[in-house]
Amino acid sequence: LAKTTQPPSMEAYEGQEVNVSCSHTNIATSEYIYWYRQVPHQGPQFIIQGYKDYVVNEVASLFISADRKLSTLSLPWVSLRDAAVYYCIVTPLGGSGNKLIFGTGTLLSVKP
Amino acid sequence: GGIITQTPKFLIGQEGQKLTLKCQQNFNHDTMYWYRQDSGKGLRLIYYSITENDLQKGDLSEGYDASREKKSSFSLTVTSAQKNEMAVFLCASSPGTGGPYEQYFGPGTRLTVL
């Protein structure tokens, strides 16, 4: 499974756009990229997933570089409720039950 | 929509005790998972199950047993609690394993061993 590298922490002000980067230089052709976030005392929550190019949903957008070694999660107009740990996960389909390997993530702090 | 319920929310045990954690989902999902999260760290997979009565070991299965007697429920047993152990156990489910499915997580069970 590809290893991921994220910044340990980030800060932003309410209303700002936040971009969280994730490096996965050894990503395999069978692997997808997932982003989850976790607020204290709750389980992780799925944000978005993608394989290549650009994916957008009602919560966030995900840009994946052409060589798929770097992905960037973009959160528009963050609020205090977006303060959480953000996890970038790379995992292959099928095998091992789609096991998710969580690293230590990026702690996003949001200031009013 | 659906929900994942974990019981109990808090579990306090004694060293050497056998402890059971329960998880229920009403998504009608095929696959269920148990993860452990230590303070300030990411999640580690203990067991998963792709269908009723199926069990697959994860990276951290030693010291744990699991049971999937019904599609909607997945139990985890700590076979012998370790003194001063503190962790959160998270249950998750997903529709299957063949596609890029997201996993839905419960709120967790917080374990403290005295």
From residue A15, give the alpha-carbon distance in Å to each of A77, A87, A107, A112.
4, 22, 18, 9
pLDDT, one tens digit per residue, over B13-25 is: 999 999 999 999 9
CA–CA separation, B56 and B63 (whole Å): 14
Amino acid at B58: G
CA distance, residue A40 to nearest chain B CA (Å): 10
Contact status of B27 with chain A (Cβ, < 8 Å): no
pLDDT, one tens digit per residue, over A47-74 is: 999 999 999 999 999 999 999 999 999 9
pLDDT at B42 (0 to 100): 85
CA–CA separation, A78 and A75 (whole Å): 6
* Whether B11 contacts B110, CB under 8 Å: yes
Give the strand order in the sheet containing B19-25. B4-7, B19-25, B73-78, B64-70
pLDDT at A53 (0 to 100): 94
Give the strand order in the sheet containing A31-38. A9-13, A106-111, A84-92, A31-38, A45-50
From residue A112, give the alpha-carbon distance in Å to each of A15, A83, B9.
9, 11, 32
pLDDT at A79 (0 to 100): 96
Of B42, B50, B99, the CB nearest to A87: B42
CA distance, residue B64 to nearest chain A CA (Å): 18
Q: By three-state DSSP, how is residue A96 classified?
A: helix
pLDDT at A95 (0 to 100): 54
* Whether A83 contacts A75, CB under 8 Å: no
pLDDT at B80 over 90: yes
pLDDT, one tens digit per residue, over A13-33 is: 999 999 999 999 999 998 899
Check CB contact under 8 Å for B105 and A44. Answer: yes
CA distance, residue B66 to nearest chain A CA (Å): 15
DSSP H stretches of helix in B38-108: none
For residue B41, the chain A residues in CB contact (below 8 A) are 104
Contact status of A46 with chain B (Cβ, < 8 Å): yes
pLDDT at B39 over 90: no
Of A41, A46, A102, the CB nearest to B43: A102
User: Quick one: tokens of A19?
Assistant: 């971009």
pLDDT, one tens digit per residue, over A71-100 is: 999 999 999 999 999 999 988 766 555 678
Over residues A33-42, the mean pLDDT reads 93
For residue A44, the chain B residues in CB contact (below 8 A) are 43, 90, 103, 105
pLDDT, one tens digit per residue, over B86-110 is: 899 999 999 876 667 889 999 999 9
pLDDT at B10 (0 to 100): 96
pLDDT at A11 (0 to 100): 97
User: For residue A98, what is the nearest residue in chain B, using CA coordinates?
Assistant: B97
* Whether A17 contacts A61, CB under 8 Å: no
Q: Which of A38, A28, A32 is nearest to A107 (CA)?
A: A38
CA–CA separation, A110 and A79 (whole Å): 7
Contact status of A60 with chain B (Cβ, < 8 Å): no
Number of A/B CB contacts below 8 angstroms equals 66
Tell me the pLDDT band of A102, cut-offs 50, 70 and 90: confident
